[in-house]
Structure 1
């Protein structure tokens, strides 16, 4: 672990603007994440007022999912209102730390992230002085957090997991034989791109629908009521074609460019997503097998997810009220393998990242999250 005892660390105003600041964490380079040499820790400038201890005794460290980065400031607001300082870690090769990287999010072994998690916890506890720390993590970050808690007992006081990726969302045959094939490919060609069959089918259908729609209109139409853009449920600047929603139903049903309610940096969280490569998927499957064997996590765990999943060929409206990425049934079933003190709460109308859900699901998720912490860590 790197030395983080510098009394005057370099903090720069974050891309989110004041009061958010970023801190670059230098890391040891690893074959598991080639060319990745740093992570980025984000927090508010007032976390530790000058000459004083932390403004909140307790803290949360947030771990993002794949093809993601921290931008959900309303999640931080909920934690801050509940008395928890909020820290977010953009892991090596990911998000802010993935800018300029040749293959963002292409990590062959998620345990390579242990270094930046340990460094962040060292800053939070010993440099900033927080004495209670909770890991809050989404999707792949949820798997990461669960493995961290298993490997490092006593390092955090609780886990709160948002739609954690605890199993492969596929048939039993694909989970067994498909995973064996991916393991074999990963040893020979770890950079090979692995397509999700159901996603690929939905993409082809979306492309065909778009082509058919375009064939029925004037080729130079740029009206705000362009029937193609209207039919696809998206909006865009005149002359800019964002492509059909179906190319990436989850992200495009939520992002403002396609008519969704949220706006995020499409450089850091692009659509379509950064490709999934064999080395990354094989590494994820190894950790998911560990989950299935039982982790024995010793601290309280909260697992939240939606009440329903939908397929990749669902409508954008359906996608805005369900999990289009993972199987909520699998999440609920696999949660039993995390430890002996696990609470599972399903949020009606929630999406894959519950913090991106529409009202009232989003508010319900935040209330469950902060209410559980108040009850379990009074």
Structure 2
């Protein structure tokens, strides 16, 4: 009942409302902060090459078998290496068919039977980077452009000329055996490397990207949104927080802090007077805050609690890696400078981390000159744990 009510609530929101909630909960990549595989929207860097996997505000029910991001990356690389490693043309052609099939299932969340029914001559919309899925739940599924380029390249490869119209016509048993072989090569349980589990994993990945339930439902070809909602398990606390974010939209906390990290408390270490709190964002970024026991008690800080860690821009220290600087700062985040705004006395420097998170530092204009800071430079942002303020809604 709780989940059904939440599903109805989320689907009733407009795009701006969804955007607001996702930004407040944390617009970051999930769990491992690793690529989601060698191809697709989860490869490379944010806004250009690596799209992040935003807000992970739900847990996956224990009875839903799925692969995490590290496993998805491993299995994708295993298939790619297996395909590209052979020099024999017949083997390359045969392996290429499996590689193509894997890409459809991995990035299109298509059922095995649906993938085997794809007509490589008629069912690909090259202008849209989409594949037409026929059958009981006919639909058009968009694929990441990089994935579609790989599919098109292989379809148009001369080695497959004699197979056109039959490339995906393979025996299900044979396909499953090849998937199991890749599972063994990766050291992943066979029960997790089958088309159904990979399809589930893609659905979860899209939901964690912030894609609305109704859209994921359409991609999967589910008859109703409740089937898609099976991948998400919200605790009552999670539901309360999401709803509160929405209700409190107009009274959002005003703060002069430019840096905000939303995540869950993953570790707490206590001393006689102070406590060290570790917050992990959905992308895997960890930030340490040191607070008093009284503050921890008044905020109700405990493992698993969703919090927002904020840091004022003047408290962010910038250093270049080649400075070999030793520091007591517990938080060190390295990335590239994407913006430098200089004034008469102060300057604002924005650093983008590999997962797309941006950290803003306010320094003097003299510091900018002395460090020769400019857009594109590699830089590290240092933040003392005592400078990290924890906020709980």
Q: TM-score if structure 1 supplies the norm length?
A: 0.25
**Which structure is higher in strand share?**
2
**Which structure is higher in helix share?**
2
Larger radius of gyration: 2
Q: TM-score if structure 2 supplies the norm length?
A: 0.24
